[in-house]
Structure 1
C-alpha cells in the first residue's frame, strides 16, 4: 500500500530494523511458539524478516509490492522464500504453516474488508493448532505525522477479537503496549 517518502525512508532504515529486533518482535511474540513453518504477511522492507529468519527454521514471506518483493528476494532469498502476492489472496496451500505473523502492516490495508480477507487467508493456510500473531500501530500524533498521505486504516482493538473469531480463530487475545499504545494479537486455529 502507498507510503510517503519519509515513511519509506524510516521503514527501510537500520534504526527501524534495530527497534523491530530489540522491541517490536520480542513484545509482539512474547509467549508465542512459531513452530517449524512460519509465514509472514507484509514484510515491507524486511526489518521483521531479518529477525524472523533467526527465530524459525522455515520462513515464507508474502509481499504485495513487486519491487519490494524483488528487493527482499535478493537480500533474503537464501534464508527465506519470498513471494510477490496479495496477503488477501495468497497462492499457498491450506494448512501448510505452523504460524502466520504480520507486524506493523495492517494499517496500510485500505479497508476493514481487505483486512478481514487477510485474517481469513491466515486461517486458511494455518495448520490446526497453529497461531496467528502480530502487532500494529495505533493512532497518536507521531503516528499521524508519519502517515501523512499514506494509507492509514488502524485496527480497532475493541473490534479485533470478533473479527478474528469471524475468520474462524479461537483463543483470541488482544492487548496494548503500556508505553507505546501499539496493539498486539494472538489467535489460534483449533
Structure 2
C-alpha cells in the first residue's frame, strides 16, 4: 500500500466507518460459527471487532510487519498467503475478508483465494466479506499501489465456478458485500 492508503487504513475515520457501517452491513445475517478465518486483515481494524463475535479467530496476513503488529491481541495470527493457506481442509466455520480482494495482483489470484476459502471451510460454512467499488477516491488511494477491482455483478458466478453454492452479492454506493456457502451440511 502507498503512504496515503496506509494512513487512511490506520485512521480513526476508517475505524469508525468499519465499526459502525461496513462490518455490520457486510455480516448482517451471517452466522460465523465457532472458528473464523480472516484473510488479509491489514492493520486489524476488522480483526479486533471480529474477535468479539466468535470463540476462535485466526488471521492470515501476507505482510510480515503487519502480521507481527497483530500478534498478542487475543487471536491467532499467521504470516502467510491467502492464495496458499497453511490449514487442513474443512477447518473453519467461516472465512471472511474485508476490502482486501482488490489488493491481489490479478483475477486469477482472487480465484485462487476463493478456492482456498472453499477448501478450508467446513461443509455448510460461509465465505463472506466486502470490497470497495471503483470511484475517483478509490483510484486516488491506489496510485502506485496494487488495484485489481472486483466486479460485484460477476462475483457470484466466480464463486460458484470454484464450488460454492448460494453465492450472492449486494451493492451499496461505495462498497459491495458477498457471501457464499460450502456445499454440504454443517
Work out whether 1:86 is the aligned partner of 2:81. Answer: yes
Match of 1:152 in 2: 147
Structure 2: 5+ residue runs without aligned partners? Answer: none
Structure 1 residue ranges (4+ consecutive) displaced by more than 4 angstroms after TM superposition:
none
- Shifted more, 153-162 versus 124-133: the winner is 153-162
Pairs within 5 Å for 1:90-109: 90-109=85-104
SS in 1 for 2:166: strand
| Distance in 1 of aligned mates of 2:15 and 2:93 | 25
Pairs within 5 Å for 1:116-127: 116-127=111-122
| Distance in 1 of aligned mates of 2:63 and 2:163 | 27
| Distance in 2 of aligned mates of 1:117 and 1:52 | 24
SS in 1 for 2:129: strand
Work out whether 1:185 is the aligned partner of 2:178. Answer: yes
Which one of 69, 72, 85 corresponds to residue 71 of structure 1? 69
Which one of 13, 16, 25 corresponds to residue 15 of structure 1? 13
Instruction: Using structure 2 for the length normalisation, give the TM-score.
Output: 0.96
| Distance in 1 of aligned mates of 2:70 and 2:133 | 26
- Shifted more, 20-29 versus 7-16: the winner is 7-16
- Report the Cα offset of residue 14 of structure 1: 2.5
- Report the Cα offset of residue 183 of structure 1: 1.1
- What CA deviation, in whole Å up to 9, does each residue of 1:149-170 have, x standing for no partner? 1111010112211110111100
Instruction: Using structure 1 for the length normalisation, give the TM-score.
Output: 0.94
Q: RMSD across aligned C-alpha pairs, in angstroms? A: 0.9
| Distance in 2 of aligned mates of 1:131 and 1:122 | 9
- Report the Cα offset of residue 175 of structure 1: 1.1
- What CA deviation, in whole Å up to 9, does each residue of 1:72-118 have, x standing for no partner? 114x2xx1000000000011111010000000000110100000000
Match of 1:130 in 2: 125
